[in-house]
Amino acid sequence: MPIQRKHTMYHSTILDADPDTVWATIRDAMQILEIVSPGDLDVHRDVSWVEGGSVETVPARYDFRLTLSGKVVQQEIAARDEINKTQSYRAVAPTSGVASYEATIRVFPITNDPSRSFFDWSRTLEIAEDADLSVVEGIIDIMEKQTDAVRDHFAQTAK
């Protein structure tokens, strides 16, 4: 499928963990990056909070390096709602052909199964006119699999 200049994605899944357990993990950018990109970045070396950011701070900036392009990605937690278990983040600077990026993750309870959660992840990427489309396609391919990685992580911890 050809890449559009404004590319939107939406993924959702059921997780084998209660909403509080899921939220405690995914609200932390360092933990979610470790779950969704273990082969794509060295999270222990290449991911860090910067400019005084932390898991408890909003807004909070963090940087990581993409193995795919070698470029540093600068993102920030832009908003968080602890009660509704929603967090939005965005790119601070363009990189790897992505001119802008915004995303929101949300965790919902499942009324008839409180030990499980509904998780969704929406994203919008604006692709730069001069982007190397093979790099952008690689980034999108990685993103396409990330919700499954979250699902698999909580399935493993539930055993």
The per-residue pLDDT for 40 is 52
Options 3.20.20.70, 3.40.50.970, 3.30.530.20, 3.40.50.300; CATH of 6-158: 3.30.530.20
pLDDT of residue 15 exceeding 50: yes
Query: Where do we find the tokens 């005084």?
Result: 52
Mean pLDDT of the chain: 87
pLDDT in tens, 131-154: 888 878 888 888 888 999 999 999
d(CA 12, CA 128): 27
Average pLDDT over residues 15-23: 96
The neighbour count for residue 101, using CB atoms within 10 Å, is: 21
pLDDT of 43 reads 42
Q: What is the pLDDT of residue 106?
A: 97
Report the pLDDT value the prediction gives residue 95, as an integer from 0 to 100. 80
Tell me which long-range contacts 70-77 makes (C-beta under 8 A, separation of at least 24).
71/95, 71/96, 74/50, 75/29, 75/101, 77/29, 77/53
Q: Where exactly are the structural domains of the chain? A: 6-158
Number of Cβ within a 10 Å radius of residue 159: 5
Chain segment 68-110, per-residue pLDDT in tens: 667 788 899 999 999 999 999 999 988 878 889 999 999 999 9
Per-residue confidence (pLDDT) for residue 64, from 0 to 100: 83
Sequence-ordered alpha helix ranges (H) in the chain: 19-26, 29-36, 43-46, 133-158
- Beta-strand (E) ranges in the chain? 6-15, 48-50, 60-65, 72-81, 86-91, 98-109, 117-127
Residue type, 159: K
